[in-house]
Amino acid sequence: MKTVVERYHGLGNDYLVFDPNKNDLKLNRENAAMLCNRNLGLGSDGILEGPFIGEKHMSLKIWNPDGSIAEKSGNGVRIFAKYLKDAGYVQKKKYHLQTDGGMVEIAYLNEDGSRLRISMGKLSFWSDEIPVAGERREVINEDMVFGNMFYPATCVSVGNPHCVIPMDEISEELVRRLGSVSETARYFPERVNTEIMKVIDNSNIAIETFERGAGYTMANGTGACAAAGVAYKLGLTGNKVIVHMPGGDLQVEIDDDWETYMTGDVFYVAKISLSSEFTEKLRAL
């Protein structure tokens, strides 16, 4: 059986979809990292493995480029939802999908499934739910030290951990430098995603992201939700914002109970058949 993967991207955040129902290769930490390697493999910001079909819901597993598991990915969920429609697994306009970071509700906003609205679950600022080390508290505007400098950090869980730092000016260079230190800082027992955020006005923010297990990415769905939640929590914006990222924009809405909704587009790129030689190399890892 040939090993086949599908490539999609959401705002420049690219993923490979690996369907275990159509492939006999078993993914593990080593071969997932090889597939994601941009020099030795296909290259991607991660792998979406699924669907795993249960009695009530389908689920997926999200692999980071370093072979670790991500609980949730906003762009990944949208991409996977598009694949489910493309592959004929889903005909409904709305359904629920199980991730390691919780259940999400997916709504298709157009016929081809390229524009979607996702209920990403409730934001939590509580330290034990993110997690952040120390006594139980909401981690709001705390001074944290990264690379011998203090930063005012607000931390939040979107089913995965985020550290958001408001700044007057943001850049790729700055988030790369900061994220390489903050990801494994002592505050975060399970590592952390880092967003630096610039508030433009009451309805617009801009972010740069350094993802846990992936590094710098052009867009991050859960990061957009985290930053929008932090901006709202700090009183810097309203509860509906456009989040501007290098790869494009996402709309984020936050309810009174902190239930968060994300709306954005995805794009299908290609179906890729792996060579027999490369498949055997993956199988041997």
Is CATH 1.20.140.10 the classification given to domain 122-261? no
| pLDDT computed for residue 2 by the predictor | 81
75 is in an annotated binding site: yes
Q: How far apart are CA 198 and CA 107, in angstroms?
A: 29
Q: How far apart are CA 119 and CA 122, in angstroms?
A: 9
Domain topology for 4-114+267-284: Diaminopimelate Epimerase; Chain A, domain 1 (3.10.310)
pTM, rounded to two decimals: 0.91
What 3-state class would DSSP assign to 178? helix
193 is in an annotated binding site: yes
- Name the pairing type of β-strands 102-108 and 161-166: unpaired
37 is in an annotated binding site: no
Residue 173: exposed, middle, or buried by beta-carbon count in 10 A (0-12, 13-18, 19+)? exposed
Please determine whether the domains at 4-114+267-284 and 122-261 fall in the same fold group of CATH: yes
Query: Residue ranges of the domains in the chain?
Result: 4-114+267-284, 122-261
What single DSSP character describes residue 100? T
64 is in an annotated binding site: yes
211 is in an annotated binding site: yes
Q: Which two three-digit tokens encode residue 35?
A: 């597939």
160 is in an annotated binding site: yes
End-to-end CA gap in the chain: 18
Q: Measuring CA to CA, which residue among 201, 213, 111, 125 is closest to residue 163?
A: 125
221 is in an annotated binding site: yes
263 is in an annotated binding site: no
What are the backbone angles phi and psi of residue 165, rounded to the nearest 5°?
-125, 110
| pLDDT computed for residue 55 by the predictor | 85
What 3-state class would DSSP assign to 203? coil
What 3-state class would DSSP assign to 177? helix
Mean pLDDT by runs of 10 across the 285 residues of the chain is 92 96 96 96 96 92 96 94 96 93 94 95 97 98 96 97 98 97 97 98 98 94 97 98 97 97 97 96 94
| pLDDT computed for residue 275 by the predictor | 95
